[in-house]
Structure 1
Amino acid sequence: MQKIIVDPEFWEIFPDVEIACMTARDIDNHDDSNVPDNLIQHANEVAKKWVPDDPISANPVVHAWREAYRKFKTKKGARNAVENLLKRAKNDKGVGNINPVVDVYNSVSLEYAFPIAAEDLDNIVGDVHLTVAKGGEPFVPIGEDEPEEALPGEVIYRDEQGVLSRCWAWRDSSRVEATDNTKNLLFYMENIQPDRKDDHTEAGEQLIKRFKDYLDIDINDLTIISKDNPEFVFNN
């Protein structure tokens, strides 16, 4: 049995966070025949509604994540992944097409302004912990070959082999990257704003709907992790 487990050290810093978790299985990440041609382009346009003000940090979604990142140790310049997506959309340099799976979850991330991680479930070793790093946990980011180490006090996702996501939801590990050959995925999507609970629920439901409509994948294990429900079983 494999789980996502959110450790007590995390809840001490962020007691109100909720995380939508789910899995998608038996994926064919080569077939984009049912994915709308303008899916990601449309999402980039919708995303602009979340960041109308300048500077970008003045917008509530970005401001909330900036404030959260001040509560733990981060690598210099690290920003939450959703800020990067929104910034690109705002500057008319929106994210492009990558592969069917990534395009579908990026479209939801952009339209609802939540960070979504999609990790290759088959490359995860043991349980996944959302925790506070002791320091020195190994990490190789997507697109790079040189290893890094997590900082003491940094919020990370990790498994038994190393870090899956640095600075909470900044950069993901190349080891669990969703590639063209990925067959099974583990998703997690964080909400740090209690007043956006309904948006968070809708985003999770929309991700499920788009996987069914565009990729013919059934997702039926959506679970919301919270301080009172800190675990999600993703492999029995």
Structure 2
Amino acid sequence: MYFQHSNEIWTDFPELVPGVLHVEGITAEAATDEPIARFNAIAQSRLATASESELPEIQAWRRTFAKMGLKPTQYRCASESLLRRFKKEGSLPPIHPLIDICNAISLAYAIPIAVFDTSSIKGHIEVRYATGEETYLTFSGEVENPEPREVIFADEAGQAHARRWTNRQSGLSAIRSTTRSALIVSEALHESAFSDVQQLIATVADELNAAWSVVPKTTVLSQSAPRFDF
């Protein structure tokens, strides 16, 4: 199996910096309260001096969504949506330890983090423009077809595991209590994206090791090295 971005995506978004991890040995039980509180405190500190829309990480994604023809205030990247909910409610509801820790790190860095159960991925997975024939399973169980030229995470079978790039993941590959293997992808486009994504990926790896005693395979991709084999 492998993960990559298409040549078209790299051509249209040369500033993109993707960080990727693959981890095995995940369970539904892990002690993550302490690190989540720590990362939440970082997010609270950042939001105390600026709104989420003013953060450079979010501004870069807003520009990207506008470039894709999407209204940035109608369709938001995942980290902006999390920050808005966190600011309003003061916390995020627990879902699964892996999702909870990745969401907390996403809040702290203001960078989207997608987490996929690899057992639901057929062959390779690629971030590319949709043909419009792919299928996307919503969390409510409905099947949709992405719009042609929409940026999606698509596998070899034409299953879309995320729509509108970092806007929304699919229910098909959502993390569950039975998940043992996960692909984790974080993408940024702001000025300091390379160093920030490097730090974010190292942070995720450290927290996974602390919670599950696992050593993930990690990398930061580039246009000259766009593929991650796992």
Q: Same fold (TM over 0.5)?
A: yes
TM-score between the two structures when normalised by the length of structure 1: 0.89
| TM-score in terms of structure 2 length | 0.91
Match of 1:79 in 2: 76
Percent identity (aligned):
27
Deviation of 1:130 (Å): 0.7
CA drift at 1:119? 0.5
Aligned twin of 1:222: 218
1:13 and 1:71 in contact (8 A); partners too:
no
Shift of 1:40: 2.9
> In terms of mean alpha carbon deviation, does 87-96 or 167-176 score higher?
87-96
Residues 20, 183 of structure 2: 8 Å contact kept = yes
| Residues in 2 aligned to 1:42 and 1:96: alpha-carbon distance in whole angstroms | 16
Q: Is the 8 Å Cα contact of residues 9 and 127 (structure 2) preserved in structure 1?
A: yes
Structure 1 counterpart of 2:142: 146
TM superposition outliers: structure 1 runs of 4+ over 6 Å: none
How far apart are 1:61 and its partner, in Å?
2.2
Aligned mates of 2:222, 2:88 — CA distance in 1: 34
Q: 1:107 to 1:171 in 2, by over 3 A?
A: same
Compute the displacement of 1:201 (Å): 1.0
- Residue segments in structure 2 that go unaligned for 5+ positions in a row: none
Given that residues 16 and 227 in structure 1 are in contact (C-alpha distance below 8 angstroms), is that contact kept between their aligned partners in structure 2? Answer: no
Structure 1 201/55 Cα, relative in aligned 2: closer, same or farther at 3 Å? closer
Q: Which moved more, 1:190-199 or 1:61-70?
A: 190-199
More off after superposition, 122-131 vs 37-46: 37-46
Equivalent residue, structure 2, for 1:174: 171
Maintained 8 Å contact 2:117/2:183: yes
Select 1:119's aligned residue among 95, 116, 121: 116
Q: Is 2:122 the partner of 1:131?
A: no
Q: 1:210 aligns with which of 192, 204, 207?
A: 207
- 1:5 maps to what in 2? 4
For residues 26-79 of structure 1, give each alpha carbon's deviation from its aligned partner in whole angstroms, at most 9, with x where no partner exists.
2222x22xx243443443332134444676423322211111101114489221
CA displacement at 1:181 relative to structure 2: 0.8
Q: Distance in 2 between matches of 1:55 and 1:218?
A: 35
2:196 equivalent to 1:199: yes
Structure 1 residue 131, shift from structure 2 partner: 0.6
Q: Relative to 1, partners in 2 of residues 1:116 and 1:20: Cα closer, same or farther, differing over 3 Å?
A: same
Looking at structure 2, the residues matched to 124 and 59 of structure 1 have their Cα atoms a distance apart, in angstroms, of: 33
- Aligned residue pair count: 228
Deviations 1:167-209 (A, max 9, x none): 1011111111111110101111102113232221111111111
Structure 1 residue ranges without an equivalent (≥5)? none
Give the distance between the partners of 1:157 and 1:223, measured in 2 at CA.
Answer: 18
On the 8 A contact 2:32/2:97 being kept in 1, the answer is: no
2-structure distance, mates of 1:83, 1:73: 18
Q: Per the alignment, do residues 71 and 45 of structure 1 end up closer, same or farther by CA in structure 2, a change over 3 Å counting? A: same
Q: Which amino acid aligns with 1:168?
A: W
Give the corresponding residue for 2:23.
Answer: 24
